[in-house]
Amino acid sequence: MTKPSLLELPPGVQLVYLAEGGANVIYRFVSAPGKIVKKEFKKPLSPPVIESLENCTLPAVFRDKLLRLRKETAADLSYKEIVQNFNTIVRPLFKPEELVDQTLIRLPEGLIQRCNEQLHVDEVNGRRPKKRHGGYLSLNEPFGLLITDMTTADDPSATLAELKPKWLIQSPSAPGNAQRCRTCALREMKNHEARRMGQKEQRSFCPLDLVSDHLDNVLRATRFIKGCNDQRRLAKILLGNLTLQKLQFQQKSRHEVGLLGPPALSRGMSLDMTLRDCTMFIKIPRDEMSPVEIRLGDLDLKSGAGGKSKYWRDLEMNLIDGGWYRGDSQEDSGCALHRGHIST
């Protein structure tokens, strides 16, 4: 069987900055007819030549896609490795339509330099978030990633809800008398520190409510989810949702978390933590009869190396020893465990 050829980004493609995180910048493609820029010649009989394509017609393979470019970070994990991990470890766990897809694509020469120059200009002009200043794209990464576009650009009347399902089951190393799930325990520990420092507290949902078989419990969670004003409709969408149930099953199956792991140098075992830190995107059309698109993203395989594994274990010990699982602080976290609505 012949190996499929690698996609290449057309040299004339135009990009628009969309968003960025600590490790990547996301761009949207600009699709427009190619415009020929003519160069003047002294000889009047010389034909005009194409010096550049200010815009290019976007090939079909790039439609409904965004471009993800890698920043220079301490982890320095190449996109080739990221895609290989995704294809061999993550992709087999879900259906294609349940995932924000990612495909390796070779970048044209000079693109990264131009993007970095624009990021610097955006800093000067105040168009780039201040907390991202100084972080630029890796000049040693020859590839980008084509990812599924889960924005509402193709349907402005639709809404996009975004949430972190986190731990849909309790941590296996939590005490037996726990009154808080892992997520609620961690939030209360952080809120305790925030109150001590005079900072703003976090408010969010209990992940166990998301996988409840009672609509009222799911509705309790959707009140904290931004992007969809119709909380009841969102709750009905999430009630018994198969993708959520599958994610919960995978978390239950991959339970080497908490004090059980993952080992510092075991990238494969870090899938257990990756499945507990992904993002769910829910694209909801205005027409209630139209299909809702639900995909899981942020599934780059986490590594326990570089002190991360120790951090995860130390965090779990702090939650246990500090009584945050037991609810010793007597703060009402709204956790389903405390209310007696337990989903295991």
Per-residue DSSP letters for 164-193?
----SS--TTS-TT-SS-HHHHHHHHHHHH
Q: Which carries the bigger pLDDT value, residue 137 or residue 226?
A: 137
Dihedral sign for Cα atoms in the order 86, 267, 270, 256: positive
DSSP state of 97: G
Alpha-carbon span 247 to 343, nearest angstrom = 13
> What value, to the nearest 5°, has the Cα angle with vertex 40 and ends 39 and 45?
115
DSSP helix/strand/coil, 197: helix
Residue 230 C-alpha from the chain's centroid: 23
Which stretches of the chain are DSSP H helices? 79-85, 111-124, 182-197, 207-210, 215-222, 231-238, 242-253, 271-274, 308-321, 336-339
Tokens 């131009």, located at residue: 114
What is the rounded average pLDDT of the residues 3-13?
80
Q: Is the pLDDT of residue 12 over 50?
A: yes
- How confident is residue 74, by pLDDT bands cut at 50, 70 and 90? confident
* Structural domains of the chain in order of their starting residue, each with its CATH number: 7-148 (3.30.200.110), 159-339 (no CATH)
CB 36 within 8 A of CB 52: no
Q: What is the CA radius of gyration of the chain?
A: 23
What is the rounded average pLDDT of the residues 203-212?
96
Which of 25-29, 40-44, 307-311 tops mean pLDDT? 25-29
- What is the percent of the chain where pLDDT is above 70? 86
Alpha-carbon span 110 to 107, nearest angstrom = 9
Which of 36-40, 70-74, 218-222, 331-335 tops mean pLDDT? 218-222
Q: Is the pLDDT of residue 109 over 60?
A: yes
Q: Which residues contact 46 (CB under 8 A, 6 or more apart)?
A: none
Q: Is the pLDDT of residue 341 over 70?
A: no
| CB-facing half-sphere around the CA of 285: CA atoms within 13 A | 9
DSSP helix/strand/coil, 114: helix
Backbone angles phi, psi at 189, to 5 degrees: -65, -40
Q: Is the pLDDT of residue 263 over 90?
A: no
What is the rounded average pLDDT of the residues 28-38?
55
Both tokens assigned to 124? 């000067």
Backbone angles phi, psi at 164, to 5 degrees: -105, 105
Both tokens assigned to 244? 């959520």
Alpha-carbon span 222 to 204, nearest angstrom = 9
Residue 245 C-alpha from the chain's centroid: 19
Neighbouring-strand partners of residue 169: none
pTM metric for this prediction: 0.87
pLDDT of residue 315: 94
Both tokens assigned to 344? 């295991």
